[in-house]
Amino acid sequence: MKKLIHGHNGDVEFLFIDAIPSQAEKIENRPVAYGEQSGHAHVITGNVEMFENGGFMYAKVGPGGARIQHVKEELMTKENWTSVEQGPQADHGSTLVAAGKTIKFGVFQQYNPYKKLMEASKD
């Protein structure tokens, strides 16, 4: 799978990829990452189909686009999940994603405190 663009929205990293792996299973849209204690979550909203495989989540963005955002999870409504508008924002802004994009979410770099630098994950 070719990695095309690497980006992040807060703590959540994402790659724009060519295609979702054939063995990935379709899942209901849900947070791609949770805050450890804050009740906040990173989500992708709008016209998206979600998939999961090998510990990674994937999204296929349909017409109208999508938004990767950091929200107060308890304030999310059914309407928030299907809208590209900013939801109940938590700590930082959001990232708009154009229709037709395919995204892989995960941790692709990790900080090595012994070397004091970022290193690519082995995925």
Q: pLDDT (tens digit, 9 = 90+) per residue, 67-112? A: 988 888 888 888 889 999 887 766 777 889 999 999 999 865 555 5
Residues 33/51, Cβ–Cβ less than 8 Å: no
What is the pTM assigned to this prediction? Answer: 0.78
Q: Is the pLDDT of residue 121 over 80?
A: no
Residues 75/66, Cβ–Cβ less than 8 Å: no
What confidence category does residue 11 fall into, taking pLDDT thresholds of 50, 70 and 90? low
What confidence category does residue 35 fall into, taking pLDDT thresholds of 50, 70 and 90? confident
pLDDT the model gives residue 1: 47
Average pLDDT, integer, range 55-76: 90
Please report where in the chains the tokens 């947070």 appear, as a residue. Answer: 31
Domain locations in the chain? 3-120
User: From CA 115, how far away is CA 94, in angstroms rounded?
Assistant: 31
Residues 39/17, Cβ–Cβ less than 8 Å: no
Six token digits for residue 61: 């963005």
